Amino acid sequence: MTTIAFIRHGVTAWNKEGRAQGKTDVPLDEEGILMAERVAERMEKEHWDVIYTSPLIRAKRTAEIIAEKLPEINFNTDIRLGEIGGGLIEGTTEQERVDKWGLNWREQDMGFEKEDVIIARGLSFIEDIQKAHRGKKVIVVSHGGFLARVFNALIPGGEFSNDIGNTSVTIVELKDEKNHCHLFNCMKHLEMREV
C-alpha cells in the first residue's frame, strides 16, 4: 500500500481574477505563499518520505515551502503533474471568452489538452509511484483541473467535485485490490489562522 497526499498549489492573482491558467507559468501571490506555509505546517506534523511536484512555478513553490518543513524529504519534479493545457483560453476570464468567441465558446475547438491524454499521464505517474514507493508516504503537489481528473480515475464512482481548493489536501491509499480516499479537499489548515 502506498499513501499519497495530493495538494493543490496556493492561490495566484489569476485564480482571484478568474483567469484560466493552464500551462501558463503564473507565480503564487502573497496570500498563496501564506497558504503554502499553512499547509506546510500541517504536513510537518506527520512523516512523509518523498515529494513530487509539477514544474509550474505555482506548484513548485508550494512544494518547496512544504519541503522546507520536512528537511529529510526527497524532492522531485515531474512534468506529468502539470496542469491541463488550456489552449486558446489561457489568460482569459469567462467574460473575455464570451466577448471573443460567444456564449457557446465551450462547443468550439479551443485547443484543450485531450481528456484521454490527461488521464493517461496521470495514471502513468501513479503507476510509477506505486512501483518506486511501495509502502511509503508520498506528497504530490499539482493543479486543480488535473487533480480532479486523477481522483475520478483512481476512485471509479467516487464522483469527486471538480472544485479543488487551493492548498487542499486529499489523501488516497493505493491498494492492489481497490484504492481508498480517506480525506478529500480538506483545508482545515487555513482555519488555524487568518490568511
Give the residue numbers annotated as catalytic, written as ranges.
9, 83
Helix axes 115-132, 144-154, angle to 10 degrees: 70
Q: Where are the alpha helices (DSSP H) in the chain?
A: 13-17, 30-43, 57-69, 94-101, 115-132, 144-154
d(CA 17, CA 60): 21
Per the CB < 8 A criterion, the answer to whether 146 and 12 are in contact is no
Tell me which long-range contacts 73-77 makes (C-beta under 8 A, separation of at least 24). 73/48, 73/49, 73/139, 74/49, 74/50, 75/50, 75/51, 76/50, 76/51, 76/52, 77/52, 77/53
For 128, half-sphere exposure in the C-beta direction (CA atoms, 13 angstrom radius) is: 11
Q: Residue-wise over 68-92: b if at least 16 C-beta within 10 A, else e?
A: ebbeebeeebbebbbbbbbebbbeb
